[in-house]
């Protein structure tokens, strides 16, 4: 009996567990998933909570319901990963789990403590995150009674999970305050360490003026050093200051603490991973998928999904003694809510920036790439159903794992 151990039962871990269970015989393989909580969080839904579109209950489901029955599920914190001994030690019953193959899908998390002033007396009072259920629900409560002022959204540092979320947050905020009838009393400013809201040429060319149209200001190249929660301002390393009444922070994102503890990560606790095969660079029986990698791809559920497709084919070759094929191309596909019932869709990979066109059927759609449409918004709305019922269960989706150029305009 060979053992596969999957650490983390989020988007990537759940997809992989389902695919492995579909492909491998339970008489020969034992698959175990370890996660610290019983609840699976639909992370794309967190964005909608501050605006009262979703509640906390809309984004939570029992984790076990989405994992196959023949997979052992262990709910426990992980103490340490010891790849040299092919074993993992967990907290529950002080067990040591041995493996033949390890799949690390421990994701990424926000670490607001890394920025001085962020989590002091004003945390979840006038300073919020929306990457956690606690943060997004606290912000929802705040926005229900907020009477306007300067709303500043600050990205602490790249990379972040779901790089388009800050833009979507601002678009939805514009729509929300408009609906509340106080848009004229709200000043929206996006403060980013990047050179602008859009950094890729075609996206910048097609979407560049949308922020101006929506009256959302941008402060570029701002690297936050600290927050002064008493003076209500954020301060950069080169001593720029931006004042706020309400600060929405996207704190520094890092890999899981267990990756740090085990000495497996880089400076941000992301694991050095081969960008085309998803094998851990240092270990031959360890694979890394989803946000836990250091790949130059986006940290997003769609990437975890495409990685899952590529991984399973390669893994079945690998266990039969064949070489890994370098087939992962960094493909990502993301809906961007733009408010007022509309949205954008972008599709890109390591080498090809988001381009305009129709998706997934060339020339037909129904979705439009790099263009605002109502259909794109419905795509995002329906995606929650797709996530729970198709994507997590590893069932086929009508999108190929490798990015396609068909239907795109150069």
Partner 1 sequence: MVTKEMLGLNIEVNEEGFMLDTSQWTPELAVEIAKAEGIELTDAHWQVINWCRQIAGVLGVSPTLRQITKGAGVSTKELFKLFPKGPAKKVAKIAGLGKPQGCV
Beta carbon of residue 16, minimum distance to partner 1 (angstroms, whole number): 23
- Nearest distance from residue 244's CB to partner 1, in Å? 22
Least distance (Å) between residue 377 CB and partner 1 = 17
If we measure between CA atoms, which residue out of 61, 16, 56 comes closest to residue 34?
Answer: 16
Least Å distance between CB 161 and partner 1? 12
CB of residue 355 to partner 1, shortest distance in Å: 11
Contact 219, 192 (CB under 8 A): yes
**For partner 1, which is the closer residue by CB, 252 or 401?**
252
- Closest distance between partner 1 and the C-beta of residue 111, in Å? 11
For the CB of residue 282, give the shortest distance to partner 1 in the complex, in Å: 12
Residues forming beta bridges with residue 317, ordered by sequence position: none
Which stretches of the chain bind partner 1, using CB under 8 A?
A: 157-159, 163-164, 167, 193-195, 198-200, 203, 207, 221, 223, 225, 237-238, 252, 266-268, 272, 275, 294, 296, 298, 332, 334, 336, 346, 348, 350, 354
Closer to partner 1 at the Cβ: 130 or 348?
348
Helices (H), 129-267: 133-145, 165-180, 201-207, 210-213, 257-261
Of residues 138 and 264, the one with the C-beta less far from partner 1: 264
Length of the chain: 410
> From the CB of residue 386, how many other CB atoms can be counted at a distance below 10 Å?
13
Q: Kindly list the distances between the CA atom of residue 204 and the CA atoms of 93, 208, 269, 351, 356, in Å, as whole numbers in the listed order.
A: 53, 4, 31, 17, 12
Q: Which two tokens stand for residue 400?
A: 């190929």
In angstroms, give the least distance from the CB of 247 to partner 1.
20
The DSSP bridge pattern shows strands 186-191 and 216-219 to be parallel
Give the residue with the Cβ less far from partner 1, 9 or 251: 251
Instruction: For residues 87 and 98, give the distance between their C-alpha atoms in angstroms, rounded to a whole number.
Output: 4
Which ranges of 11-99 does DSSP label H, i.e. alpha helix? Answer: 11-23
**Measured from the CB atom, is 350 or 378 closer to partner 1?**
350
Q: In this complex, which beta carbon is closest to partner 1, that of residue 169 or of residue 177?
A: 169
Minimum distance of partner 1 from residue 283's CB (angstroms): 16
Do residues 55 and 33 lie in contact, with contact meaning Cβ atoms separated by under 8 Å? no
Residue 273 DSSP label: B
Whether the Cβ atoms of residue 336 and residue 347 lie closer than 8 Å to each other: no
Residue-wise DSSP of 213-238:
HTTEEEE-S--EEEEETTTTEEEETT
Nearer to partner 1, 40 or 202 (CB): 202
Contact call for residues 398 and 367 (beta carbons, < 8 A): no
Cα→Cα distances 150→133, 179, 247, 307, 348, Å: 24, 18, 8, 40, 34
CB-nearer residue toward partner 1: 19 or 380? 380
DSSP state of 199: -
Nearer to partner 1, 194 or 399 (CB): 194
């Amino acid at each position: 009996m060979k053992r596969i151990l999957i650490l983390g039962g989020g988007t990537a871990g759940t997809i992989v567990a389902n695919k492995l269970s579909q492909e491998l015989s339970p008489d020969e393989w034992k698959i175990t998933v370890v996660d610290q909580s019983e609840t699976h969080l639909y992370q794309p839904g967190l964005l909608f909570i501050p605006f009262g579109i979703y509640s906390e209950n809309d984004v939570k489901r029992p984790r076990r319901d989405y994992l196959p029955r023949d997979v052992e599920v262990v709910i426990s914190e992980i103490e340490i990963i010891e790849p040299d001994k092919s074993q993992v030690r967990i907290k529950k019953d002080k067990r040591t789990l041995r493996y033949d193959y390890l799949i690390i899908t421990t994701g990424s998390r926000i670490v607001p403590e890394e920025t001085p002033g962020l989590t002091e007396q004003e945390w979840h009072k006038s300073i919020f995150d929306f990457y956690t259920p606690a943060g997004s629900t606290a912000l929802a409560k705040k926005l229900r009674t907020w009477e306007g002022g300067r709303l500043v959204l600050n990205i602490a540092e790249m990379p972040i999970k779901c790089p388009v979320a800050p833009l979507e947050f601002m678009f939805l905020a514009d729509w929300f305050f408009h609906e509340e009838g106080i848009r004229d009393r709200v000043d929206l400013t996006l403060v980013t360490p990047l050179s602008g809201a859009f950094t890729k040429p075609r996206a910048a060319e097609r979407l560049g003026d949308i922020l101006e149209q929506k009256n959302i200001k941008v402060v570029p190249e701002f690297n936050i050093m600290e927050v002064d929660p008493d003076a209500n301002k954020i301060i950069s390393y080169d001593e720029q200051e931006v004042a706020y009444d309400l600060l929405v922070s996207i704190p520094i994102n890092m890999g899981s603490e267990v990756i740090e503890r085990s000495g497996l990560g880089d400076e941000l606790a992301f694991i050095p991973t081969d960008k085309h095969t998803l094998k851990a660079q240092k270990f031959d029986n360890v694979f890394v998928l989803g946000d836990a990698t250091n790949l130059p791809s986006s940290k997003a559920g769609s990437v975890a999904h495409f990685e899952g497709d590529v991984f399973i084919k390669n893994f079945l070759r690998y266990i039969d003694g064949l070489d890994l094929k370098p087939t992962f191309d960094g493909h990502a596909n993301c809906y961007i809510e733009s408010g007022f019932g509309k949205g954008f869709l972008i599709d890109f990979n390591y080498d090809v920036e988001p381009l305009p066109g129709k998706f997934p059927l060339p020339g037909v759609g129904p979705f439009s790439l790099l263009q605002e449409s109502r259909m794109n918004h419905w795509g995002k709305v329906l995606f929650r159903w797709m996530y729970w019922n198709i994507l997590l269960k590893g069932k086929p989706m009508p999108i190929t794992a490798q990015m396609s150029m068909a239907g795109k305009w150069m």
